[in-house]
Amino acid sequence: MGISSTLHIGFDDTDSQKGMCTTFLAYKIVEYLKKQGSEFLDFPRLIRFNPNIPWKTRGNGAVSLKIKTNNPTKIKNKIKNFISKYSDTKNGANPGLVFYEQKTIPSNFTEFSELALWQLINRNQAKKFALKNNLEIFYIGNGQGLVGAIGAIGYQFHDHTLELLSYRKPSKFGKERKISSQSVKTMQKKTFPYTFNSFDNKKSKVLITPHGPDPVFYGVRGEKVDSLLSATKILKTKEKLAGHMIFKSNQGTNDHLKNTFTKSTLKPFASGIITGIVLCDPKIEKGGHVFFSMNCNGDELQCAVYKETGISSIASNLIKGDKICVGGGMRKASKIYPRILNLEFIDVVNLKKNTVKSNPICKNCNKSMKSKGQNQGYQCIKCGKISKNKTNLEIPRKIQTKMYIPDVSAHRHLSRPLTRLGRLNRKSKFDESTSWFSVYEN
């Protein structure tokens, strides 16, 4: 046995639309590392990157682990085998694996990671980074997974959430997930505000179970280990599950929207926020999607708000002159549409008074005066009072100066939910003795 060393392990893009899941691979690797007697220095980290890039796997999530081990060489070889064996390369996965054997992470790792949160980083940039920094890398296919693998190691938390993911037994993969929706509703109520986005009360819809063939049965998102563990005790499922693992994550933090767009960063697939003045009254198109343009520091920016977000009705009530701050992802121009920002939230900063010109009201009779003909003024037909000009009538606005975010069902992994607005979690201390990882008996 050699001297124990700190090893960071990052991997990404092991799954495809058709199956597997990077978090499940992490669970299998952790199970192996525990058997080997590795010491864990932190929760497994599940880092979601820019959700608006075109070639993302389902959630664009990468995983990293930080351990102490006496036998790094053996462990690296074994993990390479895990990645080769369990990645869904047949269905388009391009897995990347990175090892970094140092106690602390240099700041250029973190810078790389921060860019991957909102920009389009291509695999060649990742390969160059690996070469320049002498990283041990391993990849299959085109190596796209290296971006997330490096990013997950370099990521530094400023706020975080936890997610408890439970896994199914292999015999159940691909079968329907049966869970009592009442139990999910109860769980959400009892653990509020320490869990979030579990149940959509408006649509009576369970939000913790995925629908694909992957090995995850459910994922409960929240703030504290105890709350997640007690949440799982309230849930009632029809099948015996294989085990669970708690990840520390940037989900629910709006991490991809930290970037403030400038003229030069408003590029296709970039995510961020920008403030501006609404240039014209919004247009509602077929299907209920809303389109409008904004003036952002003298440049015109096209915006789209899709019906599914649940905030299209807010957007349709904007008028020319409103000041808003919005966030989302830039879509590439197509034949029909120009480059456009797909909105993920609308923060109304200032509402313009909505007035229309109308015939004056007679102060004596409280009745609308009639026009006497072009440029002839107005007269009350009851008392004969005369007025020269039209008056401004104020129409009450249907929206307020506040933050509007999508319905929970339309949330992305990174979307900050209502319960987390204005709230940061900085203190989930990792305690190896808690039940952050568990393989259930039988």
Could you list the residues that contact Zn ion (CB under 5 A)? 362, 364-365, 380, 382-383, 385
Which of 144, 145, 197, 192 minimizes the C-alpha distance to 405? 197
Q: How far is the CB of 374 from Zn ion (least distance, A)?
A: 22
Q: Look up tokens 């649940």; give the residue.
A: 310
State the sign of the Cα–Cα–Cα–Cα dihedral 128, 134, 140, 145: negative
Q: Which is nearer to Zn ion, 170 or 384 (CB)?
A: 384
Q: Which is nearer to Zn ion, 103 or 382 (CB)?
A: 382
Q: How far is the CB of 192 from Zn ion (least distance, A)?
A: 58
Q: Which is nearer to Zn ion, 74 or 382 (CB)?
A: 382
Q: Which is nearer to Zn ion, 204 or 366 (CB)?
A: 366
Q: How far is the CB of 381 from Zn ion (least distance, A)?
A: 8
Q: How far is the CB of 366 from Zn ion (least distance, A)?
A: 8
Q: Which is nearer to Zn ion, 268 or 377 (CB)?
A: 377
Q: How far is the CB of 388 from Zn ion (least distance, A)?
A: 15
Q: How far is the CB of 319 from Zn ion (least distance, A)?
A: 32
Q: Which is nearer to Zn ion, 131 or 381 (CB)?
A: 381
